[in-house]
Structure 1
């Protein structure tokens, strides 16, 4: 059992990260060293994995859904990006973008100020071009101007459930307005048997964006197990063939669903709205803390 650490908020960088348990806004965070990598760390909150980051190699992406994020990001036009991330934790994807696209300017919104300070103190946030702001995601969206982002990512969970209000039609319209062509919206959600939440989220995206893709493990897509689903949406045509090729050849092959198959999956599902917002899916107890891992 690791000791509870209470003095983590100092901004003075320590010689190295200290494994342990730390109180944060949405529970108790735990910082664990990766046994297979010299300077890689796992951040979890109340047993649910939030981030895995290799401080020596930002391109080393452990979680499978983050790899899928990277597959899509890599298809954006070459050069620096203007990116907005809602949900940060250890900022795995922003670190990847900063390393793979030097000169990028990125802003992260995260509602858990204590977790942000933990990451800053233990794992460092001095990433070129990166700013982190403690704020609720919906509130943060209202502060951004239209046509200012090439990439907008929603990966925000509180106690294993998607942060409130980010999957609604109203939020999605705000996100679409912030993106400029050929900007891409990436969202990570979780769901289980029957995919009821995913179907409604898909209906929401299709109401706003003309181009939508879904990337998911085949077992998750068939509702056989609870897991992550990555949605990609844009006002511009998506490089579907290249994304499908990369995801199919991954160590953990992923289905790329588009077109008629995607419309069939959505079926008659209604978009999620602020007035009609279903609860975010809860992971089963037997896989709590594991469903976000890249190696299951």
Structure 2
């Protein structure tokens, strides 16, 4: 793993040959990777109040989104589940977290860490954990989705950084799996990924309560890259006939050889 600095003073965290985070220590509001910007747009739209949010991040890397939450929702208690101790030590040394943060890093896997959380303890759970470019199957099955349902507050949100090949068949099964516990599952996706032109990231948004489609459509229009919001109704039609994963899911498809997509 390594940190690559650029001329702006920002840093890209690279692991397993893949860029995993971009951090500007002086500007935590700068979200460079498309899907991280999409996470921010979703939270701006659905949680506009700057009051603290209890956020659990499954996967840490440079903790870009945790830094953003700290700035936008000051005082937010955040838990980061990151099993790579060496990576966390590197980040703490080279890209230290801001003063006054309430971010706690636990050196455990997502499965271990979420099982240990209290019922109803998280306002938001962000699933963004990749191993050699693939989201593990343990973070995609019905057992995992049941744990997410357990730890969320009644109006809580699940955000998932999913990555898939053209056709988005794995994403469709992931949405069907989330729908076994959450009545509303939408997608924020780059148009060229939605149209099947290339492998890419899709941000899945799951909730027990209806999602604000008007605000999320406007958020998609504000994105730096051409982006589409697919409502829960649209996603239901798109994934009709897709089977949910079993108790343990399948890993997401591997990125193309030599691919430098931003996976975290």
Fold similarity call, TM over 0.5: yes
Query: Does structure 1 residue 215 correspond to structure 2 residue 185?
Result: no
Distance 1:291 1:83, change over 3 A: closer
1:253 alignment partner in structure 2: 226
List alignment gaps of at least 5 residues for structure 1: 1-28
Query: Does structure 1 residue 191 correspond to structure 2 residue 161?
Result: no
Quick one: distance in 1 between partners of 2:191 and 2:74? 34
Q: Aligned-residue CA RMSD in angstroms?
A: 1.5
Quick one: distance in 2 between partners of 1:121 and 1:134? 16
Quick one: distance in 1 between partners of 2:96 and 2:82? 16
The structure 2 residue matched to 1:108, chosen from 72, 75, 80, is 80
The structure 2 residue matched to 1:54, chosen from 24, 27, 46, is 24
1:15 alignment partner in structure 2: none
Retained in 2: the 8 A contact 1:189–1:230? yes
The structure 2 residue matched to 1:117, chosen from 89, 95, 110, is 89
Q: Specify the SS of the correspondent of 1:256.
A: strand
1:63 alignment partner in structure 2: 33
Q: Specify the SS of the correspondent of 1:274.
A: coil
The structure 2 residue matched to 1:174, chosen from 139, 147, 168, is 147
The structure 2 residue matched to 1:137, chosen from 110, 113, 124, is 110
Q: TM-score, normalised by structure 1?
A: 0.84
1:63 Cα offset (Å):
0.6
2:130 alignment partner in structure 1: 157
1:260 Cα offset (Å):
3.6
1:153-211 C-alpha deviation (Å, 9 max, x unpaired): 00000111113401111101110111113211100010012212101001001111011
Q: Specify the SS of the correspondent of 1:214.
A: strand
Q: TM-score, normalised by structure 2?
A: 0.94
**Correspondences of 1:220-235 after superposition (within 5 Å):** 220-235=193-208
Q: Specify the SS of the correspondent of 1:95.
A: helix
Quick one: distance in 2 between partners of 1:259 and 1:129? 33
1:76 alignment partner in structure 2: 47
1:36-93 C-alpha deviation (Å, 9 max, x unpaired): x1x3100011321100010001001101111110111122152111110000100000
The structure 1 residue matched to 2:64, chosen from 69, 73, 92, is 92
Larger radius of gyration: 1
Retained in 1: the 8 A contact 2:163–2:200? yes
1:262 Cα offset (Å):
1.0
* Number of residue pairs matched by the alignment: 261
**Relative contact order, CA 8 A, sep 6+: which one is greater?**
2
1:4 alignment partner in structure 2: none
1:26 alignment partner in structure 2: none
2:10 alignment partner in structure 1: 40
Q: Specify the SS of the correspondent of 2:179.
A: helix
Quick one: distance in 1 between partners of 2:145 and 2:162? 14
Q: Specify the SS of the correspondent of 1:237.
A: coil
